[in-house]
Amino acid sequence: MSNRIIFTKKKPTCRLTLAKIHADMVRAIGYEFVVVSRRRKFTVPRFMFIRIALWENHSYSAIGKFLMGNDYRTVRNGLETLSDLIETRADELVKLISKMPENYKLYFTHVSPEVARTIALPVMSFNSLQLKNK
């Protein structure tokens, strides 16, 4: 046997299963959100579920399969839409986050709506207008 070092790619373990995240979110918000509907009432919790699941090292395809058998593109589009919601409808997102258990709120602490809006605004500078008397 040689003295070679063998590196193996080991995926980090997930602390929370997808079913556990789903059950906790349903209990917190009070209704099932994995349904065939594009209403904001159901889509925003799905996008939040996607964010939490990705932070827990679940793969895009596993999350998509859990969400009614969708593929990874659904997960990617959900993340993009969640970013847009943070900028445009932060009040709705804050209401849902406030219903979540404390350990799930940690996934959204670095996204303050005021900060996200401030960062999204372009920085504008104006030259001062000075009037000279002739």
The pLDDT tens digits for 45-78 are: 998 899 899 888 898 889 999 988 877 788 888 8
The answer to whether residue 33 is domain-embedded is: yes
Q: What pLDDT was estimated at residue 113?
A: 55
Structural domain including 63 reads 18-118
The answer to whether residue 129 is domain-embedded is: no
Q: What pLDDT was estimated at residue 7?
A: 38
Which CATH number does the domain housing residue 98 bear? 1.10.1750
The answer to whether residue 100 is domain-embedded is: yes
The answer to whether residue 44 is domain-embedded is: yes
The answer to whether residue 108 is domain-embedded is: yes
Q: Which residue has the tokens 């959204």?
A: 108
The answer to whether residue 6 is domain-embedded is: no
The 3 state secondary structure assigned to 114-126 is HHHHHHHCCCCCC
Q: What pLDDT was estimated at residue 128?
A: 58
Is pTM, for the whole model, over 0.75?
Answer: no
The answer to whether residue 126 is domain-embedded is: no
Residue 60's closest CA among 39, 38, 77, 44?
Answer: 77
Domain count, the chain: 1
DSSP 4-60: -------PPPPSS-HHHHHHHHHHHHSS---SS---HHHHHHHHHHHHHHHHTT--H
pLDDT tens, residue by residue, 72-104:
788 888 888 888 887 788 778 888 888 888 888
